[in-house]
A and B are shown apart, each in its own frame.
Chain A
Amino acid sequence: MFYRESGQFKASYAADQAVFPIRQDQYGIAAILLVAFFVIPYMGDEYFFQAIMVPVLIFSLAAIGLNILTGYCGQLSLGTGGFMAVGAVACYKLTTAFPELNFIIVLLLSGVITAMVGLLFGIPSLRIKGFYLAVATLAAQFFLSWLFNKVAWFQNYAPSGTITMPPREVFGVLVTGAASNAMHRYLFCLIFVIVLAMAAKNLVRGPIGRSWMAIRDMDIAAELIGFRPFQTKLLAFSVSSFYVGVAGAMALSLWLGSVETAEAFDINVSFQVLFMIIIGGLGSMMGSFLGAAFIILTPIVLTNVMVGSLGFQAVTAKHFEFMFFGGMIIMFLIVEPQGLARLWQILKEKLRLWPFPY
């Protein structure tokens, strides 16, 4: 009853092309941002930030990255973990080699480096598509994992084989390292992710996004009306890898602190991020956030309920989690391939007409 767009007229194309054209949506998003910035920082504790909010934000960014490539441009990738590893290692190498370099610049440069690596592995997409490409990205996953594990230079010759993020400040506030405050890390993640997510949204709603979707939906027709498939796909590969790389860099610096690259960003991470965009919604920015929240929160809830309340063994809960995720994937692909985001949209459409069925 309150969710109506009647009476809201758009007098210009600019207003018609806005991200949230309906006023109620604008209020909603403003409310969410207010809570995220002004309520959560005072309500949450260390565990809440470290185990839930920070990983959800970081994986949202990774999911946005994969969604650009898979959801918008239609190129399946199973190498997300590998590209996150590139971002993490790039961040580590940059910040240890140039300690004075601003941390924000370090994160962005890590993304740029990952984008270049992504470009390299995107070259086969010139001739192949679908799961053929998936195999090419698997090559990236396994080769990169191996590379960072075996070549000691990438770990600054640390005997343990792990990379550890040194403490870094942003505008005088410590955001990385063991001594940093979890709430500060959360706020930094929040701002960074929101800015990058807006940039991604701008890309996909404009001419570049249309070129990606054209390639996804009908590559031959796209080529015949003047898109260059190769350039378009490579752009998707590099932008996607940029986001995934920044997410990897953030995972190292703002979340995990210290990782063994090959283990922290293995093939399971690739699947995890893929599941996020399938469940959240292929080709939806909102879905990337919803999917990341779903995939991060589900194991926590499952463990709490099954182990904490019902007395199952932790390993049983783990196996159940496998089945649950697998089942969810199949269910979403069958029932709603556009994921949670589409369910949300349907709810809004129903709400718009409520209490009438049509």
Chain B
Amino acid sequence: MNSSLLAWIVRAVPFGTIIMFGAMGEIATEKSGNLNLGVPGIMYLGGFAGFASAYLYEKNSPNPQVAVCVILALICCIAASMAGGLIYSFLTVTLRANQNVTGLALTIFGKGMANFFGVYLLNGASYTAAPMAYSAFSAKLFPAEKMGILGETVFGYGWLVYVAIIMAVVFHFVLFRSRLGLNLRSVGENPATADADGISVTRYKYLATCIGAGISGLGGLYYVLDYNKGIWATTGQIEALGWLAVALVIFTTWKPLNAIWGAFLFGFLYWLYQFLPDMLGLKVKTYVSDIIQMVPYVVTIVVLIVVSMRKKKENQPPASLGLSYFREDR
């Protein structure tokens, strides 16, 4: 196989995994009718909390254990992300605040939190690392080295990649094959009907948003502790990834299974600028690669337009997306 193509795949899959987590969480949230534009903020919170806990544990424990490090990072990441989801739910569901505005405020807040405290960890350096967490999270599940090309392209990634894929499959079954999923979808489609059928709209919205935030946060964790080699540096990168995750949700037409290939496709498109010219033996100017970077967004816009033109009901956003629901006072 062409070595550039190989390098491209090996780059695209982990990249896709970051936004797959982000998008899956947001699908769960949006299926409950909440349009949470705080995804970038939540991914910041999750990524930072996961990194910080692992880093501090490694640094301060005289005898750090890999398992403890992993579990600690996961728990802190999910807890911090869910806290973000909880703020959003409380404001939009209980206090009926506008969803778009609350989400954007959450993004500002999450970015601020992560970067503010990140500076303490950096302690003057331009970056800092958690090597144990990196090796734990990038650990391969399979003996990839012995498997040749297949090992590199399919089995050669850190275990969270496979967790993401399995999660998407499980999420698909929960959403489309379980009572829970049916009820959740009804809340996002037609909360008044759900309410009349005895489904607690408030509880579903809270749960979907908080659990969704926890899943999105894993994207941040994966970014820092595997993709970025366990290195924390104060950058704006996570924010762009968060918005790309929001784009991916549209691209998947709110279906978790589509998130798997969609995420990898986005990964390919994102790195297209670097690897395609290499593969074809071309030399392109940097500005060409900049323009190519817009491809994932343009594709998303096209999907959005096509879906709205074709009006196929199954591909539309949840009908009550972005709207607060409250039973009329009787």
B is bound to A: no
Interface positions of A (Cβ within 8 A of B) = none
